[in-house]
Amino acid sequence: PHAIVWFRNDLRLADNPAFQAALDGGFTPIPVYIHAPEEEGAWAPGAAAEAWRHHSLAALDAALQRRGSRLRIFHSPSLQTLQSLAAACDASAVFWNRRYEPAIEKRDTRIKATLRDHGLHAESFNGALLVEPWRLATKQGGPYRVFTPFWRAARASLRLPSLFDPPASLPATDDGPHGLPLEALGLLPRLGWDAGFWEHWQPGEAGARQALEAFAEGALHGYTRSRDLPDQVGTSRLSPHLHFGEIAPWRIAAVLLALRQPKLEDEIDGYIRQLFWREFAHHLLHHFPHTTEQNLNPRFADFAWARVDERMREAWRHGRTGVPIVDAGMRELWHTGWMHNRVRMIVGSYLCKHMRYHWREGARWFWDTLVDADLANNTLGWQWIAGTGADAAPYFRVFNPVTQAEKFDPDGRYIARWLPELAGLPLAQRFAPWTDPSMLARRAPGYPRRPIVDLAAGRDAALAAYRKVSAGE
């Protein structure tokens, strides 16, 4: 018998419950990828993530071909594609791993029902999370809105599934349509602006394993200390691999827990706690699907966001705000498709608080430029930094980008790497170049003279606006 294995954001063979189910059921798996961005609602994948996907699909196809099978690629509506392929290949089952984006959850529910109505065995699995969103509830029976109690409950109920490695060869069939060449999907940018990305990344399952190995041997050993320092490789950089499901979170947890020893206890716990932020983000997205567009905290409905000025928005997007740590972050993002978490918070705070732009402005730009763009994590991150979301920082905590830079980039190395034009400034001016205008004019003539929003004035205006919201509490 044949079974379609519908690959989505689970682009791996190991620890892949849908793929495993096909093999365990004695089926010949027909691996399929369907490109249907118009089915993702307002959040069709962004450009950087699509470029990543291209390489990840190529890696998945290569892994299948090494085992005697292959990936069939289609660009047509998902339901019709599955139905006609099942008919053409005489497949009796369709297996996939669940996704949690609101538009996709709705679509998949409909697809499952229709396939079953037509006599197919349609079954979905958890391929992405340690704890699926509906597994945990507060004592009152509702979803969590605060991280720490969520994390405590999730950790207490955690059971890691056993690991699965794919067989060296797979049964294969030539029946039915073979699909399109990967290039036909046009996932790679035409202008080649992604060229610099691939010096930093290796998309695909093998790349994910290597990143985990490198982390376990390297940055893990000082994770709690160095995870906040953007000039170091202090984190795992597994986020795009996790987003595309190139590695299962339970494999990451299992590999790290196996290294447990007193010296590493805090580092491993600290890392697994971060993984649970991802779980929390999925919990929130599932239970509060409107939050991709609207504030989780309804008190912000009338918040006085500033009107968007095209020039200011462009300055933020392209790293020309005149605030070095903000500009360095935005350029890291543009050049590598990724930005360090600490700097994401700093650029986000500058946009939402100093510039007082709606967090959606930031979320949209990240969506298009991050290789790890993930609707759950991005929504949580932006609402958190704007103060409109779950477990958000109190409104009066406006990051000062200068003191943030002094604290987390103490040698100014991160700034100098991404803004080489400032590398010749003494350290104090590298953090706040406007404090010595003549030095700035002499040594970095191309850099903005002063921030697009003055730090003190921006902070005061933000506090005034936020105070109105909190007065309504």
**Given the rule CB under 6 A, which residues bind ligand FAD?**
227, 235-239, 242-243, 274-275, 277-278, 281, 341, 344-345, 348, 366, 370, 372-374, 377-378, 380-382, 385
Query: What is d(CA 50, CA 368) in angstroms, rounded to the nearest whole number?
Result: 9
Instruction: Encode 3-61 in three state secondary structure.
Output: EEEEECCCCCCCCCHHHHHHHHCCCEEEEEEECCHHHHHHHCCCHHHHHHHHHHHHHHH
CB of 53 to ligand FAD, least distance (A): 14
Q: How far from 224 is each of 111, 219, 243, 258, 343, CA to CA, in Å?
A: 43, 9, 23, 18, 17
CB of 393 to ligand FAD, least distance (A): 11
| Closer residue to ligand FAD in complex, CB, 235/297 | 235
Copy the structure tokens of residue 284.
Answer: 């929130």
Angle value at C-alpha 101, between 245 and 145, nearest 5 degrees: 105
| Closer residue to ligand FAD in complex, CB, 25/149 | 149
| Closer residue to ligand FAD in complex, CB, 35/243 | 243
CB of 407 to ligand FAD, least distance (A): 17
CB of 351 to ligand FAD, least distance (A): 9
Cα torsion 324, 326, 329, 335 to 10°: value is -80
Angle value at C-alpha 278, between 274 and 280, nearest 5 degrees: 105
Q: What is the DSSP letter of 92?
A: E
| Closer residue to ligand FAD in complex, CB, 236/292 | 236
CB of 89 to ligand FAD, least distance (A): 35
CB of 271 to ligand FAD, least distance (A): 6
CB of 70 to ligand FAD, least distance (A): 30
- Residue 8's nearest CA partner among 182, 161, 128 is 128
379 near 285, Cβ under 8 Å? yes
Minimal CB distance residue for ligand FAD:
381
| Closer residue to ligand FAD in complex, CB, 239/388 | 239
| Closer residue to ligand FAD in complex, CB, 281/296 | 281
Query: At 312, phi and psi to the nearest 5?
Result: -65, -40
| Closer residue to ligand FAD in complex, CB, 32/128 | 128
Instruction: Encode 331-342 in three state secondary structure.
Output: HHHHHHCCCCHH
